[in-house]
A and B are shown apart, each in its own frame.
Chain A
Amino acid sequence: MVSQLELNILEILNEDARTSEKRIAAMTGAPVEEVQKAISRLEEEKIIVSYPAMINWDAVDVNQVEALIEVRVSPQRGEGFDAIAEQIYRFDEVSSVYLMSGAYDLMVLMHGRSLKELSLFVTEKLSTLEHVISTATHFVLKRYKDNGVILEGRQGDHRLVVSP
């Protein structure tokens, strides 16, 4: 359970992780020390895990390919899916691993510099892991919305400048 203050802090940092403690204090009406204490607790409890910037790599002139790979595995006795998941998430190329309900077991998100690099990873490393039954690789062609943020398209403030 998080307190009302902590919930406010999480929403503020989720919107802008660079918001200063002083500003958070102004926005929540809590003293700065209390804000600092709350943030420390949220970090210790691993509720706030890290503070990355959200970057639209598509707009940067670097080669970056993202793929979403459906992986079917046979769970291991006593370990379930955890052991095989760990074997997969240890790779640096892998950015996310989720256990899924439905037609496949693990969803693996990965980044690489080229299609070739990712393909090689899938065929040589992922598919050959013991307990992996099959994989299906989907390459990301275009990103429209990421983590609640619309990356392009019609946006902006369309309200009248002054209204009653």
Chain B
Amino acid sequence: MNYEEVLSGRISAVPPSGIRKFFDIASQMKDAISLGVGEPDFNTPWDYNDAAIYSLRQGHTHYTSNWGLIELREAISEYLKVRFSIAYDPNREIMVTVGASEGIDIALRALVEPGDEVIVPDPAYVSYMPGIIFAGGTCVPVPTFAQDDFRMTAENLKKAITPRTKALIFPYPNNPTGAVMRREHMEEIAQVLRGTNIIVIADEIYAELTYGGARHVSFASIPGMWERTITLNGFSKAFAMTGWRMGYACAPRELLAVMCKIHQYTIMCAPTPGQYAATEAIRIGLDNDFADVLHMVRTYDRRRRLVVSACREMGLDCFEPNGAFYAFPSIRKTGMTSQEFCTAFLKAEKVATVPGDAFGDGGRGHIRISYAAATDKLIEAMKRMERFVSGL
């Protein structure tokens, strides 16, 4: 059978993930130190696991509402109010999803019609571009630059907008760069959007992980932006719950109703035990002022400084990443491409990092270093990187 004839051309045309390619190389290498991981090295706090186990013992193994458990939605509503000053009604403005990833997919499918354009900062998380294509749209990358601290600028956004622009994906704090957008920068973006019909898909999965004093500002909290924003978030990064696949989407009810239509026909509901674990995560956080989260943030912050100062000491340009858990140094000085650098570094020193261009052309000449790794491993990896760079 000629499978090419039966498979969707649109889907087949999406290039394979650069991450996947590098994973295949890195997983061959025994005993490598991996700084290529996009998830916390902390384990899920046992209290959350215990809540899920207890829910199983209680026999809570049935479907929940399509929207998710009401107690979880109420907890999310309270959490967003307390932590990020945004108000969403637990009835009809919050939906529990299978990770924030599902949120990206259903938000795009709810909005995009063939030929519609969706603007995405470049570099950015690997799923946006394929998600846009799967939904039948066209991805319009807006380059971001180290000299702007990898922020999306109003000027470059303006240049990318056309009459076909349907949405803007706004993923800050950013994976892979670690860039954040401060309130004043968001105001400038908001100024461009006011008076348009462009919907903002704000992927705020790293919202809790910001450093250097200033807390993350939710895009929906910028005056006038709530009505056009779909806020996506989840439990993976802030609560170390990646494998649970617990996320949520928040939006004005007219938008969320359509997203829920897709969700109810394709997913039904997010897994029930995970919803109990997530409810417990927020309950404990509200009780102890998010002490677990703050402890993780302090730990990440120390590792972040360690990695950034090590990169700079070895002569690499590295802008100050104030969010997520990635550093994104430039390796242009070495004369190598990102792919060459990461492959040679892995082979010579057994340390896995990810080529910046796996996240879009804007990542060329950079590598992504995840500092979600134990401190002693990071120190050893930076020592090896220093040796590798100085030997070039």
A residues engaging B (CB < 8 A)? 7-8, 11-12, 15-16, 23, 26-29, 157, 159-164
Report the nearest B residue to A19, measured CB to CB: B375
Check B26 against A15 for contact (C-beta < 8 Å): no
A160 touches B299 (CB 8 A): no
B27/A29 in contact, CB under 8 A: no
**A163 pairs with B39, CB closer than 8 A:** yes
The CA-CA distance from A12 to B26 in the complex, in Å, is: 30
CB-CB nearest in chain B for A29: B305
Q: In whole angstroms, what is the CA distance A16 to B303 when docked? A: 14
- A27–B303 alpha-carbon span in the complex (Å): 6
Q: Is the CB of A161 within 8 A of B32?
A: yes
B residues near A157, Cβ cutoff 8 Å: 34, 41, 374
0/1 string, B344-376, CB within 8 A of A gives 1? 000000001010000000000000000000111
User: Which of A12, A160, A161 contacts B302 (CB under 8 A)?
Assistant: A12
Which residues in B have their C-beta under 8 angstroms from that of A162? 19, 22-23, 26-27, 34, 36-37, 352, 354
Known: A15-B375, A16-B375. 4 other contacts (CB 8 A): A12-B302, A159-B37, A162-B354, A163-B37
B38 within 8 A of A: yes
Give A153 Cβ to nearest chain B Cβ, in Å: 13
Q: Which residue from A8, A26, A159, A161 sits with its C-beta under 8 Å from B298? A: A8
Interface size bracket, B side: 20 to 34
Let me know if B306 is at the binding interface, CB within 8 A: yes
Mark each residue of chain B from 114 to 138: 1 if its CB lies under 8 Å from any CB of chain A, else 0.
0000000000011100000000000
Name the distance in Å between B213's Cβ and chain A's nearest Cβ. Answer: 10
Asked if residues B309 and A161 are in contact (CB atoms below 8 Å), the reply is no
B306 touches A163 (CB 8 A): no
Asked if B23 contacts A161 (CB within 8 A), the reply is yes
Name the A residues within 8 Å of B191 (CB-CB). Answer: none
Interface string of B261-274 (1 = CB under 8 A from A): 00000000000000
Give Cα distance in the complex from A159 to B306, angstroms.
22
| Residues of chain A contacted by B37 (CB below 8 angstroms) | 159-163
Contact A28 B126 (CB under 8 A): no
Within 8 Å of chain A (Cβ to Cβ): is B17? Answer: yes
In the bound complex, residues from chain A placing their C-beta under 8 Å from that of B26 are: 161-162
Q: Report chain B residues within 8 Å CB of A28.
A: 302, 305
Set of chain B residues within 8 Å of A11, measured between Cβ atoms: 295, 298-299, 302
User: A16 contacts which chain B residues (CB < 8 A)?
Assistant: 375-376
Q: Do A161 and B27 touch across chains, with their CB atoms under 8 A apart?
A: yes
Query: What are 21 A-B contacts defined by CB distance under 8 Å?
Result: A7-B298, A8-B298, A8-B302, A12-B302, A16-B376, A23-B379, A28-B302, A28-B305, A160-B23, A160-B27, A161-B32, A161-B37, A161-B352, A162-B22, A162-B34, A162-B37, A162-B354, A163-B23, A163-B37, A164-B126, A164-B127
Determine how close the nearest CB of chain A comes to the CB of B22; give it in whole angstroms. Answer: 5
Q: Which 9 pairs from chain A and chain B are nearest by CB?
A: A162-B36, A27-B302, A162-B23, A163-B38, A161-B26, A26-B309, A164-B126, A161-B34, A164-B19
Task: Determine the chain A residues whose CB is within 8 A of the CB of B306 once the complex forms.
Answer: 23, 26-27
Residues of A within 8 A of B19 (CB): 162-164
A residues near B126, Cβ cutoff 8 Å: 164
A-side contacts of B125, CB under 8 Å: 164
B29 CB contacts on chain A under 8 angstroms: 161
